[in-house]
Amino acid sequence: MDWLPAAASTYAADIDRIFYVILAVTGVILVGVLTVLIYFLFRYRGREGRKAFYIEGSNRAEVIWTVIPALFILGLAFASQSVWPKIKSPDRFPTDALELHVRAEQFEWNVTYPGADGSLGTDDDFTTRNQVHVPVDRPVVLHMESIDVIHSFFVPAFRIKQDVVPGMQNDAWFQATETGEFELACAELCGLGHYRMRARVIVHAQDEYESWMVEQS
């Protein structure tokens, strides 16, 4: 459906599927509860000569309305098991990935690239500010740090959102499936300039990326 942002990463469709399942389950429950609520508002409205009466409560009803939602939540947890660990568990990150270092600070994203030698922490590393350049169809692992407060790395088109907590290294990965420009926004209210803590993610074709790298380093 096109009211979601473009789905431009390998796991975007998996995330969307879970989103729609949860939306359907909670949507049906919402409509059901509201329908009963509105019906009861009319059915039991105050009327002349009608006395209020006291309800003792029912253990059976309580067990039913506790167990059924609990089963739904367990079901959703199991249904998402094939997706969540694949995206979030560091031990399942792609191993052949391009590794970038991301330093978040009030109010910008600084991205360090490995340069021509392909490894971070060497002399030919270089950094861009509020721009993230990545190649298409290649996994990218982000090693992220914040130097001040909590920020959150959010690229809606890739369905990636990862908090970046000061004092920790927070890793995340994605693999873009489309070339073009996408928005990176900070998704954690991080101060007065939070609204302008955004960057462009530029997804290059593979060969174009190589030449961009060489140009920069």
Residues 12-41 that bind Cu ion (CB under 5 A): none
Is 151 near Cu ion (CB under 5 A)?
yes
- Cβ atoms of 102 and 153 within 8 Å: the answer is yes
Closest C-alpha to 98, from 136, 54, 44, 67: 136
Q: For Cu ion, which residue of 186, 201, 202, 213 counts as binding (CB under 5 A)?
A: 186
Q: For Cu ion, which residue of 100, 102, 190, 213 counts as binding (CB under 5 A)?
A: 190
Q: Which is nearer to Cu ion, 136 or 185 (CB)?
A: 185
Q: Which is nearer to Cu ion, 38 or 147 (CB)?
A: 147
Query: Using CB atoms within 10 A of its CB, is residue 4 exposed (0-12), middle (13-18) or buried (19+)?
Result: middle
Is 102 near Cu ion (CB under 5 A)?
no
What angle, 0 to 180 degrees and rounded to 10, lies between the N-to-C axes of helices 12-43 and 59-79?
A: 160
Both tokens of residue 54? Answer: 């006291």
Task: Considering only the stretches 4-12, 130-138, 160-168, 180-188, report the one whose residues sit in contact with Cu ion under the rule CB under 5 A.
Answer: 180-188
Closest C-alpha to 110, from 128, 125, 126, 95: 128
Q: For Cu ion, which residue of 100, 197, 201, 213 counts as binding (CB under 5 A)?
A: 197
CA–CA separation, 155 and 186 (whole Å)? 9
Q: Which is nearer to Cu ion, 90 or 166 (CB)?
A: 166
Q: Which is nearer to Cu ion, 140 or 184 (CB)?
A: 184
Is 184 near Cu ion (CB under 5 A)?
no
Q: Which is nearer to Cu ion, 152 or 177 (CB)?
A: 152
CB of 106 to Cu ion, least distance (A): 7
CB of 197 to Cu ion, least distance (A): 4
Task: Considering only the stretches 50-58, 125-133, 140-148, 197-205, report the one whose residues sit in contact with Cu ion under the rule CB under 5 A.
Answer: 197-205
Closest C-alpha to 144, from 124, 130, 162, 119: 162
Query: What distances in angstroms separate CA 152 from CA 6, 137, 163, one per listed residue?
Result: 20, 24, 4
Is 199 near Cu ion (CB under 5 A)?
no
Cβ atoms within 10 Å of 192's Cβ, excluding its own: 9
For Cu ion, the binding residues (CB under 5 A) are 151, 186, 190, 197
